Amino acid sequence: MISVCMATYNGEKYIKEQLDSIIKQLNDDDEIVISDDGSTDKTISIINNYNDSRIKIYHHVKKKQKFKFGYVSKNFENALRNAKGDFIFLADQDDIWLGDKVEKQTLALQNADLVLSDCKIVDESLKVIVTSKFNLENVKIGFLKNIYKSGYLGCCMAFRKNTLEYILPFPKNVPHDLWIGLIANYKGKFNLQNNQLLLYRRHSNNISATNPLFLERKRNLPKNNNSLFFKLSYRFYILVAFFMAKFTR
């Protein structure tokens, strides 16, 4: 059984395209677990219009977070806590899954605890800007490399359910995808999958904890404009949380 965990908030513009790309890859006993952070647009209405018993909506109550990405992390945590599948996929509300994503990542999980696939980076209209995020950013597994500049993108991740034992709860002030990647690499078998299985949509409303290298190389992509204080602060929290987990879990 597969659980696709999605965090939503005011995603009416793109969520139908994303759900359409996911649903056609699922079996009857799979599920899409959606945690919504109090959307005030038509997001919930669009989801309900599917009238599909595999789609389950959980309403998350926001609590004050130090960083914007903290709201996304806690929203994903709520979805993950309600997932029942043996294999768990993370999904953003505004991307597009390519047709063989579930098949190829499920197959890869036969020999791994977590797999991270490559993706194509696209603009709001799905025009391809970068054909391979892995190649552009030289994505690799490793602690220091990803603390310096994370290549761990949550929407490209799939993992076994037992991974939840180690990653939850997400520490405060820590990006969920970087945390999952670091812990999965430490506790289990983490594989990179070179297939581009997703269209990763970049637009002005994206929330990211990092300022990826491709933002500097591609002038037509939105910049995050994160301050030096921000960059140092969340990395400090990651280091503290990781070493606490290492010695206490």
Domains and CATH numbers, the chain: 2-248 (3.90.550.10)
pLDDT above 60 for 153: yes
pTM of the model: 0.89
Least confident of 25-29, 181-185, 243-247: 243-247
pLDDT at 184: 94
pLDDT-derived band at 233 (thresholds 50, 70, 90) equals: confident
CA atoms within 13 A of residue 238's CA, in its CB half-sphere: 27
Band of residue 142 on the pLDDT scale cut at 50, 70, 90: very high
Q: What pLDDT, in 10s, does the model give residues 183-212?
A: 999 999 999 999 999 999 997 665 554 444
DSSP 191-248: EEEEEEEEEEE--TT---SS--HHHHH-TTSPP----HHHHHHHHHHHHHHHHHHHHH
- Predicted confidence at residue 31, as pLDDT, reads 98
Which pLDDT value is given to residue 66? Answer: 84
**The two structure tokens encoding residue 92:** 């953003």
pLDDT of res. 205? 60
